[in-house]
Amino acid sequence: MGARPESDATAAFDPAVHTAPHPVGAEQLTGTATEPPARIAGDDLEPGDRIDDFDLLLELGHGAFAKVFLARQRSMQRLVAVKISADHGTEPQTLAQLDHESIVRVYDQRVLPDRGLKLLYMQYVPGGTLAAVLRRVRATAPERRTGRLLLDAVDEALADKGEIPTSNTRAREDIANLSWPEAVAWLGRRLAEALDYADRRGVLHRDIKPANVLLSADAAPKLADFNISFSDHVAGSSPVAYFGGSLAYMSPEHLEASHPQLPGTVNDLDTRSDIYALGVMLWELLTGRRPFPPVEAKDAQGSVEQLLELRRRPISPRYLADLPPDCPASLCRVLKTCLEPRRADRWANGAELAQQFELCLDPRARDLVDPPPGRRRPSGPLWPIPILAIAIAVPNLAAAGYNYYYNKTLIVGKLTPEVQRSFHDVARVLYPLAIVVATALILYTARHLIRVSIGLHTGRDYPDATLAGARIDALRLGNRVAGIAFVFWVLGGVVFPVMLNIVAGGVPRGTYTHFLLSLVVCGAVALAYPYFAITWYVVRFLYPVFLVHGRSDAADVVHLRRLAQHTGRYLTVAAAVPLVGVTGISFLPASDIESVVWAVRVLCVGGIVGFVLAYVLYGVIEQDLQAFERIAAASDTDDDHR
C-alpha cells in the first residue's frame, strides 16, 4: 500500500495519531479512547512468513491496530498489500462498494478464527504515503518546494522497496511543472472526488490524515484505511460502531462527538467532517504545519477539550502568514472554507470542493474568481446597476442623437412645416417613453439576477438551483438587453411615422420605409456595442462571484458555449455598422449627401472605433469563457464517472 508510516507508538502524545476506535461512551472515552492496544494484531508475523494464501515479503508499515505487508498471493500469483488486524469492523464490506481511481481497491478478506485475525488484501500502491511527503516538505525551504518534491518523495519510496522509479510520463511531467500550491490543489481535487464518490454511496471515511493517503508510481493519491468508516448500505454497520479518528485532523463536531460530556453524537457526522479533515491535511502539506497550535494535555479528554476550543476559532493570522507567497488567493479561500468551524459554512460535498480545486489549477479562471492583489473587482450590491446602465445608455444615446439629426435632415426636413413641428413633439414623447419602458423591461428580466447578487453580498445563502438559475441569467443578460434594445428601435421605426401621420397627417408612404431603415441601422448600434460591454462585465466580474458560492455544471457548459457563439455573431454586426453607413450614403441623391455627410462620417468613424473595442473585448470574453468552460466541463466529466 505504500511506504512504511511512522508507528503510532512513537508518537503517543501526538494528536495526529490518537484515535478512538471504540464504541462511543463515557467509559470507553475517558482516558482510554485514544490509547493504542497493548499488542498489535499479528505482531509475531515477519517478512518471510506465510499466512493463509499469502507469502509475506516486506513490512510496509504498522499502526496501533494493524500491520501491513507486501505479499504474494499464491492462488492468483500477484502482489498485494495485506492488512492484518483483529477480526472486527466492517471495512471490507464498506470498501467493497467503492471502485474509484482515487480509492485503494480492496479485493477481498480472509478470516482466521483460530488466530482471531482478519486478512484484508488490496491493491498494492508502491509510492509511499503523504506522511513521507510531509516530512520532505518540512525539510525543504518554502521557496524550493514545487511539484518535483512530490515526485521525489514517490521515487524515494519506490527505491526503498527495490523498485525502479517510473520514467517520465506525461502525468509526471505535468506534476513537475506545478508550483507547490498547485500540486497541493492537484492532490486535493482527486481526494475530494474520492470523498464525494464514497459519500454518494453512504460511506464516510472519518480518519483523513497523511498516513492514510497512498501514492501511485505517478504520484496519484489513493485514499486508504476505511477501518473506522461508516456505510449506511452495509448491514450491521452504524455510526457508533468503531467510532474514531485522528484527533489532530478532526472537525469540531467530530471532536465534540468523541467527548462523553458534550452533546454532539456520532450520528451528527457527515461528509463535511471529512472535508474539514482534508482541509487540515492539505494546509499542513502546503505550509509544513497544521493551522492550529500544538496542545499539551495529560489525557485524551483534556486533549479533546483543548483541540475543540482551537477549532472553534478562526485561523490565526500567524498561520495565515505560513502560506507561501505563490499561493493563489483561490486556494487560500478554498482551504479556509474547508476549515470553517460551522459545518454549514463549509463546502457542501466533495464534488463542490473538487471543482474549487480544479479552479485553483486554472490560472485564468482563478484570477477571475479571486483577483490577485492589484486587480480589484467592483464591490457593493448595487454596483452592477450603474455600470450596466452606462453600458446601455452611451451607445443608445449616441444612436438616438444620430437618428434624430438624420431623420430631421433627410426625412422630416422635406415635409410640410406642420409635420416638422409635430416631429419634435412626437420625438419628445416617444424617446423618453421608449427609454422608460425598455429600462423597466430590462430590470424585470434581470430581477432574479439582481436579487440573488444583492443577497449574496449581504451574506444570504441560496439553494443550488437558485444559484444555478442566477448564473444562467447572468450569461443571458447581454443577449437579452441587446435584444430588447433592438426590438424597441425597430418598433420606433414603425411607430414614429405612424404617430407623425396621426398628429400632423400628410406623411408620404415612402417615408415609412425610410424611417424604418434609419432606425434599424441605429438598432444595430444599440444591439452590438452594449452587448460587448455588458457581456465583458458579466463574464469578468459578475459570473465569477457565483462560482465562489456554488458549483457550475453541464448546464453552464451549454450556456457558456452558446454565449461564445452569440459573441461571434455580434462581432459581425459590429463590423457591419460602418459598412452600412458607407453603403447607405451611396444611395442618397447628390443634393442630400452634403447635408448629412458629417453625420455619416461620425457613424463610420464611430463604428470603426466601436468595432475595434468590440474586437478587443471579444478576445477577452472568449478566453474567459473558455476558462470557465474548462472548469464546468471537468466537473461534468467527473459526474459521468460517479
Binding site, annotated residues for ATP: 83
Alpha carbon 489 to its chain's center:
41
Q: For residue 364, count other CB atoms closer than 10 A to its CB.
A: 13
Q: Is 281 helix (H, G, I), strand (E, B) or coil?
A: helix
Return the ∠ at Cα 406 (arms to 401 and 410), rounded to 5°. 160
- Which cell is 65 given? 491496530
- CB-CB contact of 333 with 370 (8 Å): yes
What does residue 368 show for φ and ψ, rounded to 5 degrees? -75, -40
Calculate the alpha carbon distances from 45 to 85, 148, 149, 152 in Å: 11, 36, 34, 31
The span from the CA of 105 to the CA of 99, in Å, is 6
The span from the CA of 509 to the CA of 497, in Å, is 9
- Which cell is 393 given? 445608455
Nearest to 464 by CA among 357, 349, 562: 349
Ramachandran assignment for 288, one of left (phi > 0), alpha (psi -120 to 50 degrees), beta (any other): left
CA torsion sign for 157, 163, 165, 169 is: negative
The span from the CA of 313 to the CA of 302, in Å, is 18
The span from the CA of 172 to the CA of 159, in Å, is 17
Q: For residue 590, count other CB atoms closer than 10 A to its CB.
A: 6
Query: CA dihedral in degrees (516, 521, 527, 533; nearest 10)?
Result: -150
- Which cell is 396 given? 443608445
- Which cell is 157 given? 519510496
Q: For residue 344, count other CB atoms closer than 10 A to its CB.
A: 8
Residues annotated within the binding site are: 83
Residue 587: burial class (beta carbons within 10 Å; 0-12, 13-18, 19+): exposed
Rg over alpha carbons for the chain, rounded to the nearest Å, is 33
The span from the CA of 66 to the CA of 68, in Å, is 7
Calculate the alpha carbon distances from 266 to 239, 240, 242 in Å: 6, 6, 11
Numbers of helices and strands, H then E, in the chain: 21, 10
